[in-house]
Amino acid sequence: MKITWLGHSAVKLEADKTILIDPFFAGPSQNLRAKQSTGVDFVAVTHAHGDHIGDAFAICKENNATFIGGAELANKAEKHGLKTLGMNVGGKIVVDGVVFNMVFAAHSANIGSPAGFVVEMNGSKVYHAGDTGLTLEMKLIGDLFKPDLSFLPIGDTYTMGVDAAAIAVEYLQTKRVVPIHYNTFPAINADPNQFKNKVGKNAEVIILEPGKVFELK
Ligand code: NI
Ligand code: MN
């Protein structure tokens, strides 16, 4: 599976299908919007905050892609004329050989509830935490899925910071972790290398540059 971080919480997963999660293109990532949002099959959104829903509706329209999100948010997307698959925490959707599991996130949302996703595609399991604080639910996510790779927020203020995210890595039993949701604006400034040091030998910390592809084997 090819993994691309698109800045903030936006990520692209490419294998049999092309999936965008939380496609918000902020600041320096704005120039990735055009190139990175073609050929998309699914757009999954963790929660309705603007820095996560981003351009999701527009990208679905442009690609005739399916919107995947919490039931209330999917209803809103449907009213915009999009193909949608609504779900809720604890459920999974199997579509075109891809499994979307919706998992708990400790956060807030203006529409519906916040969530994370575990996406299973071509034999790999990738966890996108969305916005969340550290929560014991992550032990359950670890037990159920043992993610091959996890995207975890480290920016603090609105989500976990570096210290809590390093504990989340242990709970999740994840082999690799990519820090997200940091340095987009001053309130979420964080040092990914400090996170890497805290995680130590518990997982491989992969610090990505927006737009650069990481090959998950
Ligand atoms: Ni949020
Ligand atoms: Mn956010």
For 100, list phi and psi in degrees, rounded to 5.
Answer: -110, 115
- What domains can be seen in the chain, in order of their start residue? 2-209 (3.60.15.10)
Distance 164 CA to ligand 2 centre (A): 16
pLDDT by 10s per residue, the chain, length 217: 999 999 999 999 999 999 999 999 988 899 999 999 999 999 999 999 999 999 999 999 999 999 999 999 999 999 999 999 999 999 999 999 999 999 999 999 999 999 999 999 999 999 999 999 999 999 999 999 999 999 999 999 999 999 999 999 999 999 999 999 999 999 999 999 999 999 999 999 999 999 999 999 8
Distance 132 CA to ligand 2 centre (A): 9
Which ligand is nearest the CA of 114, by number? 1
pTM: 0.98
Distance 131 CA to ligand 2 centre (A): 5
The two structure tokens encoding residue 93: 């959707």
For residue 141, the SS3 value is helix
